[in-house]
Amino acid sequence: MTDQSVTRIHVAGSAGTDPYDVLVGRGLLGELPGLVGDRARRVALIHPVTLATHAEALREDLDAHGYATTVLPVPDAEGAKSAQVAADCWEALGRAGFTRTDVVVGVGGGATSDLAGFVAASWLRGVRWIAVPTTVLGMVDAAVGGKTGINTGAGKNLVGAFHPPAGVLCDLTTLDTLPVHDYAGGLAEIIKAGFIADPVILDLIETDPRAARSPHGPHTAQLVERSIRVKADVVSCDLKESGLREILNYGHTLAHAIEKNERYTWRHGAAVSVGMVFAAQLGLLTGHLDERTVRRHSSVLGSVGLPLSYRGDQWPKLLDTMKVDKKSRGDLLRFIVLDGLARPTVLEGPDPDVLAAAYREVSA
């Protein structure tokens, strides 16, 4: 049972998929068996090794409700998103006799959600899955929208599938023990939602940046809920990134290149922070964005402890990586920039000299 009111955010089905709800509140983990439902007999619980105790509590609850639960520990963070880890999960599902009516549950951060969703999408060409995100990043980004995937040597998330979850449980109590750097990293995606769609998010953070860095801050629930609503509205209209959904990639083109360059040792939110500062500069240099909003990027992101720059000598490598970004079309580089606050647009084929100039502004 929950220990206070629950916010339900509805994500409408699109592209032939079923709608689902994202539940946000405190003390929600007891809701998991209800989401699994009566048709399932088996549950696969995929979790990072660091959440073994948390996963065991969920297993006991699922077992008590009559499900045969298979617990699948995987590496922490981006280390989970490999073809080998996915294959290990498939083998475990086969040994457990997993059928089309059974359910995969992903418990953990964004990387675990990406992996669990991909395993569910590819097993028997698609079984139901439920996301139980335990980080800010997982709650506001990876768990919502149905983009699942793993990494390869060529880049991040280049292998995957669109496979929305059957439900999402965002239990805010799981954030209480999250390390401060992980918590702050998740704020990058919240701030992104503020710049592309909901400026109230920026206002709330600017009111008290220090409080925004804490799960016990007065606006935590509102920041999480507002960010989820931004994503829910977008993916309800465009599941498969055929148009509108691209705006959710604001700052991500450079961010993914930085992550690959750092062999995924950088937190995703840290890379997205630098990516948004770069995108703001790119918007300014191409006549899209005003200087005040550009400065606001650095101000808001810096106020919560996120990085604003990256190594200047890495530009050639980063540019090569960005050329294989999912938004690219052939040799045409494409970036999301802002025409103004909450007015995202696509910038196609920017001049290479302009790109380099924008990167110089974020070079350490």
Mark whether 268 is an active-site residue. Answer: yes
**How long, in residues, is the chain?**
364
Q: Could you give the CA distance from residue 298 to residue 338 in angstroms, rounded to a whole number?
A: 15
Q: Could you give the CA distance from residue 176 to residue 178 in angstroms, rounded to a whole number?
A: 6
Catalytic residue among 249, 267, 296, 327: 249
Mark whether 125 is an active-site residue. Answer: yes
Catalytic residue among 128, 229, 252, 288: 252
Mark whether 231 is an active-site residue. Answer: yes
Catalytic residue among 128, 157, 163, 189: 189
Q: Do the annotations mark residue 173 as ligand-binding? A: no
Q: Do the annotations mark residue 348 as ligand-binding? A: no
Q: Do the annotations mark residue 110 as ligand-binding? A: yes
Amino acid letter, 248: L
Q: Do the annotations mark residue 286 as ligand-binding? A: no
Catalytic residue among 8, 95, 125, 292: 125
Catalytic residue among 268, 288, 327, 334: 268
Mark whether 256 is an active-site residue. Answer: yes
Q: Do the annotations mark residue 233 as ligand-binding? A: no
Q: Do the annotations mark residue 53 as ligand-binding? A: no
Q: Do the annotations mark residue 135 as ligand-binding? A: yes
Q: Which two tokens mark 122?
A: 């590819």
Mark whether 189 is an active-site residue. Answer: yes
Determine what percent of the chain falls in helix, strand and coil, rounding each to the nearest 5.
50, 20, 30
Q: Do the annotations mark residue 240 as ligand-binding? A: no
Mark whether 241 is an active-site residue. Answer: yes
Catalytic residue among 231, 260, 267, 334: 231
Q: Do the annotations mark residue 182 as ligand-binding? A: no
Q: Do the annotations mark residue 81 as ligand-binding? A: yes
Residue 354, classified by CB atoms within 10 Å of its CB into exposed (0-12), middle (13-18) or buried (19+), is middle
The answer to whether 40 and 173 have CB atoms below 8 angstroms apart is no
The answer to whether 139 and 228 have CB atoms below 8 angstroms apart is yes
Q: Do the annotations mark residue 111 as ligand-binding? A: yes
Catalytic residue among 47, 219, 256, 288: 256
Residue 79, classified by CB atoms within 10 Å of its CB into exposed (0-12), middle (13-18) or buried (19+), is middle
Q: Do the annotations mark residue 268 as ligand-binding? A: yes
Q: Do the annotations mark residue 60 as ligand-binding? A: no
Quote the strand ranges of the chain, DSSP E: 7-11, 20-25, 42-48, 68-74, 103-108, 128-133, 147-152, 155-162, 167-171, 334-338, 344-348
Catalytic residue among 241, 246, 260, 296: 241
User: Which residues are annotated as part of the binding site?
Assistant: 76-81, 110-114, 134-135, 147, 156, 174-177, 189, 252, 268
List, by residue number, the catalytic residues. 125, 147, 189, 231, 241, 245, 249, 252, 256, 268
User: Which residues are annotated as part of the binding site for NAD(+)?
Assistant: 76-81, 110-114, 134-135, 147, 156, 174-177
User: Which residues are annotated as part of the binding site for Zn(2+)?
Assistant: 189, 252, 268
